[in-house]
Amino acid sequence: MVSPSPVLSPAIVAFAAVSQGAAAAVPTGGDGFTPVTELPSSHHYRSGLVVGLSLGATLGGASGYPNNSSDIGNEADYSASGFMLGASESIFLMGALSDYVSFGFMFNHGLFRNPSFYSNNDGVGFRVEGYPLVALGPRWQGLAAFAQFGLGTGDLVSKPPNLPEANGTQSFGGAGVFYEWSVGVMRSGAHIGIGPSLEYDAVWSQPYESHGLVGSLRLAFYSGQ
């Protein structure tokens, strides 16, 4: 049998020592690793389709011109409501992408008035809800922020006769926060989420704009998996 050359022997010994050290450094048990079956689920609190609505009271106002190029910018044709009180409702259909995010479609309608004016506003488009504190546990998983955006239209009508009306169609946007408690939870994950919501909504276009602060009750059904 041919023995290793004196030059290669130290290199072979060094390589064997490094290989043994590397093998000893690789964990072979559960220390430092979480088994896949014990990883947190991305749908522990929310899953499936989300069908919901919110109903609430609005403090808002509207202003603008008739939707006519010859009237826009003419002070004689400008109307402003001041503060008005009213009601607002939203319906939405979304998918719970994870415990942290839901996304889908929405429709919003608001009606408010005062002794001199009344205003109707509608918005249709997209809604996204985010739950940033899910990792902190059950007490915080229901706290969320949301945004709505899409096409908006509205009008401002004067109750006294012979005053200019304002109207326009262009954009709708809204943002807010809410908290939901889960009730009626089933093994499939289906349940109802209910809680208070506070949001700011706006419709704006070149001749018309409206703004409203809405406090409402939000109710949503999660279909589960």
- Write the pLDDT tens digit of every residue in 152-174: 999 999 998 878 999 999 999 99
Give the model's pLDDT for residue 103: 97
Q: Which domains does the chain have, with CATH numbers?
A: 49-222 (2.40.160.20)
Closest of 182, 178, 96, 98 to residue 138, by C-alpha: 182
CB count in 10 Å sphere of residue 46? 30
Give the model's pLDDT for residue 187: 81
Whether residue 198 has pLDDT greater than 90: yes
Reduced to 3 states (helix: H, G, I; strand: E, B; else coil), residue 75 is: helix
- Write the pLDDT tens digit of every residue in 8-65: 444 444 444 444 444 444 444 445 554 534 445 588 899 999 999 999 999 999 999 9
Between residues 10 and 191, the one the model is more confident about: 191
Q: Burial, 146: exposed, middle or buried (Cβ in 10 Å; 0-12, 13-18, 19+)?
A: buried
CB 102 within 8 A of CB 96: yes
Beta-carbon contacts of 200 under 8 Å, excluding residues fewer than 6 positions away, are 174, 175, 176, 211, 212, 213, 214
Reduced to 3 states (helix: H, G, I; strand: E, B; else coil), residue 52 is: strand
Give the model's pLDDT for residue 14: 46
Percent of the chain with pLDDT over 70: 82
Q: Burial, 137: exposed, middle or buried (Cβ in 10 Å; 0-12, 13-18, 19+)?
A: exposed
Whether residue 191 has pLDDT greater than 50: yes
CB count in 10 Å sphere of residue 161? 5
The pTM (predicted TM-score) of the whole model is: 0.78
Beta-sheet pairing, 191-204 with 208-222: antiparallel
Tell me the mean pLDDT in the region 75-93: 95
Rg (CA), the chain: 30
Q: What is the mean pLDDT of the chain?
A: 86
Dihedral sign (CA 47, 91, 114, 208)? positive
Whole-number Å distance between alpha carbons of 212 and 87: 10
Closest of 11, 199, 183 to residue 88, by C-alpha: 199
